[in-house]
Amino acid sequence: CGKTTFVDLLTGLLSPSKGYISFPKKFLNNKNIGYVPQEVPIINGSFIENLCFGDKKLIEDKNYLSKCLEITGLKKIINTYPLGLNTILGERSINLSGGQKQRIGIARALLFRPKILILDESTNALDEESQTQVIDNLISEFSDSLIIFITHNKSIKKKCMHNIQFNKNGEIIYK
């Protein structure tokens, strides 16, 4: 009904054919946008390589890296591997669950220190308890950021200040 197109418009991947996209003033001209798609791309590399995608500046601040791993619950997972952050995930990362991949995607987005964070069904592969914990951590730690959740999950919708729904024709219904 248009959710992906909406995200593409928000992130600037598409330009509107008519109308405009407007953000609150404090977020205008902000280049720090974190986007986490439903399907998180994982490369055949280590955890750390998948988190920074070659941009080593993102992981220079070890305290902030640790905070991002803690917020997403990824720290506990990484600590179960003997090589930790240097563990190679392997071809198509077959040894990771969908939820673990999503945690990597969220942590990757957080490393950009986003002022606008867009999550497109980015926790749907997590169990309910983990999903609640990650969402609550994001809302708490990034309260100065604009967080946009694209979700069908009613418990996530209840945590949001505003809800925008799309009908079957792709028209926006604001609640």
Q: Letter for the amino acid at 165?
A: Q
Whether residue 89 contacts residue 41, with contact meaning beta carbons closer than 8 Å, is answered with no
Report the alpha-carbon distance of residue 62 to residue 85 in Å, rounded. 12
Report the alpha-carbon distance of residue 94 to residue 97 in Å, rounded. 8
Report the alpha-carbon distance of residue 6 to residue 19 in Å, rounded. 13
For 53-71, give the DSSP string. TT-GGGGS-HHHHHHHHHH
CA distances from 7 to 36, 70, 120 (A): 10, 26, 8
The question of whether 121 is a catalytic residue gets the answer yes
| Residues contacting 34, CB < 8 A, separation 6+ | 109, 110, 112, 114, 116, 117, 118
Per annotation, catalytic residue among 39, 70, 91, 121:
121
Whether residue 72 contacts residue 134, with contact meaning beta carbons closer than 8 Å, is answered with yes
Q: Which residues are known to be catalytic? A: 121
